[in-house]
Amino acid sequence: MLAPIRNIHTLPVTLTAVTTLTLIAAVGVRPAPPSRADADQAGVEVVTIPAEADTTLASDAPDQPAGSEPLLRVGSFEADPADPPAADAGYTALVRFPLTALPAGATVLTATLRLGQVAAVGQASLHGRAELVTGAWDEATARWSNRPAADPARRAALTLFDGAGPVALDVTDAVRDRDPRASTLSLELSGVSGACDAGRNRAFASREGAAALGAPPPALSIAYFGAGTPHPFPSPTPTPTPTATPTATPTPTVPGTPRPTATPTATASATPTSNRPPLGRLVPVEPLAGARLTAPVGVDRWVFRWRWVGLTTFCQRYDLVLRGPSGQMISVPVGSAPVDNCATYALPGPPGPEHFGAWTWELTATCLPLGTGRIFPVPFTVVRSTTATPGAATQTAAAAGTATAAAELTATALATPGAGRRYLPWLDGGAVAAGDGG
């Protein structure tokens, strides 16, 4: 059994002219987020800029550069999610773009980072961030120990899903306030340190590895308008509507006619109103109805996420209930509201036949004195593998350093005991994480 390699710097993949590789099936890939600017709007231009440098920094190899590696990785190591998450422990990616194609004085409307995702550890989504890098760095020498400075005030929140395929990430909030004098723009991509994101990471094709991996290299698409061009989306200035002033009409008085006595109108008592804020609406985030998950194995676990719409108070208690295909009813203690509104669940043992099939999850929130909120049962299906289609997860790779025969490897070829995820082995004895096991 080949041991898994979890560090990008120890993944000795040699990219040669004979290396071919077919990507993992695009399972769970989400479409690009809607743009905040219409590229067809008059005055708006869009430029797509290929990356000129990229690398991965690994916290457990602080002095080892990885600028020539074929992969960029983001997230945390494959540790036990039950362990307390360590701040900044894991993988961080740096990507730099030249700005020569962006006119001087241009105003950025939107910025979209485009990547080719090739592997995922952990089937739940991974929360991350893109920050504008303010320090200098070199692709050949950048490493964790000389990690460049980044500005947390210029940050964009990211959600990285599982599966493989093109990924489009909205990084406008990190790019909009860049230094207009700078000739390049660098982004740092990292995962969020949280219990529900521990042990999860994503791998993307670097600019060096994109051709062999058959994935798009990193690129940045910027929608902008140039200096001196009127803003294509001006804020409308409201025009005050004149209010007509009524003119009093005199009532004629007939001599000798007594004036009528006004009948007093009863004044309704004011109905007391509550100053208590509305409870808001509790909605599911992950997994959504119809999701297909594999059973968690080893240290892996399911992640359930939710959010409030319009909630203005604190909830004292959350109760998560899972119902399985064999009549299981599992109560997952959550306690008070966690910061990221999520909960995890791991099977008490290896998955068996009773775990595959139709499941639901539901959530009840107790928010005193407002009342309760609820997510009604959300159906999802547990399958034996998310790559059940024959050949869907096939990779073909040439032997490192040779120009001869290649080996075809499938996602079900190896199951690393206790790791909770599948690995695709390379011929040189390494391995690449291919997703969750089941």
- Tens-digit pLDDT profile for residues 70-126: 999 999 876 555 555 555 578 999 999 999 999 888 889 999 999 999 988 877 888
**Mean pLDDT, all residues of the chain:** 72
CB 139 within 8 A of CB 91: no
Nearest to residue 94, comparing CAs of 72, 125, 127, 65? 72
Domain count, the chain: 2
Q: How confident is the model at residue 241, as a pLDDT?
A: 62
Supply the pLDDT for residue 21.
32
For residues 313 and 204, state if they share a domain.
no
Same domain, 108 and 212: yes
Among 51-55, 270-274, 306-310, name the most confident range. 51-55
Q: Which of 245, 348, 366 is nearest to 311 (CA)?
A: 366
What's 296's domain CATH number? 2.60.40.10
CB 20 within 8 A of CB 398: yes
Q: What is the mean pLDDT of residues 137-146?
A: 96
Report the distance separating Cα 198 and Cα 257, nearest Å: 90
Q: Does residue 114 sit within a domain?
A: yes
Residue 193 or 423, more confident: 193
- What pLDDT does residue 7 have? 38
CA atoms of 438 and 436, how far apart (whole Å): 7
Give Cα 304 distance to the centre of its chain: 14
Q: What is the DSSP letter of 316?
A: S
For residues 123 and 14, which has the higher predicted lDDT (pLDDT)? Answer: 123
Q: Give the percent of the chain with pLDDT over 70.
A: 62
Q: Looking at the domain assignment, is residue 124 inside a domain?
A: yes
Same domain? 182 vs 106: yes
Q: Pick the closest to residue 118 from 22, 196, 19, 190 (CA basis).
A: 22
Contacts of 184 (CB under 8 A, 6+ apart): 52, 96, 97, 98, 99
Span 215-230, average pLDDT: 86
Mean pLDDT throughout 198-210?
91
The domain of 66 spans 8-225
219 in the same domain as 286: no
Is residue 97 domain-shared with residue 164, that is, in the same domain?
A: yes
pLDDT tens digits along 332-345 = 988 765 556 888 89
Residue 122 belongs to a domain: yes
Smallest Cα–Cα separation from 372: which of 310, 280, 309, 285? 280
Shared domain check, 212 and 75: yes
Distance, in Å, from the CA atom of 34 to the CA atom of 15, rounded to the nearest integer, reads 35
In a domain, 134, yes or no: yes
Q: Distance between CA atoms of 88 and 392, rounded to whole angstroms?
A: 34
Are 209 and 336 part of one and the same domain?
Answer: no
**8 A C-beta contact, residue 27 and residue 223:** no
Q: Is the pLDDT of residue 393 over 50?
A: no
Kindly tell me if the per-residue pLDDT of 154 is higher than 80: yes
Please check whether residues 77 and 194 belong to one and the same domain: yes
**Same structural domain for residues 163 and 305?**
no
Domain assignment present for 413: no
Clarify whether residues 159 and 289 are in a common domain: no
- Asked whether residue 199 is domain-assigned, the answer is yes
